[in-house]
A and B are shown apart, each in its own frame.
Chain A
């Protein structure tokens, strides 16, 4: 159940956009629950884009100054296109939030880096890339 603030936000956006489209907006939402904190996520009014800030190329490649020719396509002018853009916004919000939480948590850094590397790259060491 979204909290009161995000409910008002979403109603506000809906009033604005329902004037222009016949199809109801598709708005993804999320809820986070941990032992010490509960938080709701809502993409907000936008503007939204499929060019996410937390889903770029990996640092290894970005640091080489390579031009990113593999960015996502722009959202089409459609309900589903807007959904894809809103999902991107939500994804960025969640990634930033959880990354901040992780820094606060200050867990064993090396162990966590290895866990992430294992999950994302199936345990492939950077020296062992194909």
Chain B
């Protein structure tokens, strides 16, 4: 199997630990469609969410990264509006 040599780590800080956990729980249920081309791992440390992408090429990780950030923006907007 070809190795996933293209690695990208995204670190996103939230205001509270609860928010970081909610973001992780919201992103993680959806399975990766092509696990032999890309893997995505989520973790939290206190108020920070970390996401590590490992893929076969720049193109594969670009699409995944942009999609995850799109979802993150939705999550943050929900918190902006409703987490008072």
Direct contact of A and B (CB under 8 A): yes
Q: Which residues of chain A have C-beta atoms less than 8 A from B79's C-beta?
A: 80
CB pair B80–A34 under 8 Å, yes or no, is no
| Closest chain A residue to B3, Cβ basis | A35
Specify the main secondary structure of chain B where it touches its partner: helix
Q: How many A-B pairs with Cβ below 8 Å?
A: 100
CB pair A99–B62 under 8 Å, yes or no, is yes
CB pair A84–B58 under 8 Å, yes or no, is no
A16 contacts the other chain (CB 8 A)? no
CB pair B57–A55 under 8 Å, yes or no, is no
A30 contacts the other chain (CB 8 A)? yes
**Can you give 30 A-B contacts (C-beta < 8 A)?**
A26-B14, A27-B13, A28-B10, A28-B12, A30-B11, A32-B8, A33-B7, A34-B6, A35-B5, A55-B66, A55-B70, A72-B73, A80-B15, A83-B13, A84-B76, A84-B77, A84-B80, A87-B12, A87-B73, A87-B76, A91-B69, A91-B70, A94-B8, A94-B62, A95-B66, A98-B61, A102-B57, A105-B58, A107-B57, A116-B63
Listed in ascending order, the chain A residues whose CB lies under 8 Å from chain B are 23, 26-35, 50, 54-55, 72-73, 75-76, 78-81, 83-84, 87-88, 90-91, 94-95, 98-99, 101-102, 105, 107, 112, 115-116, 119-120
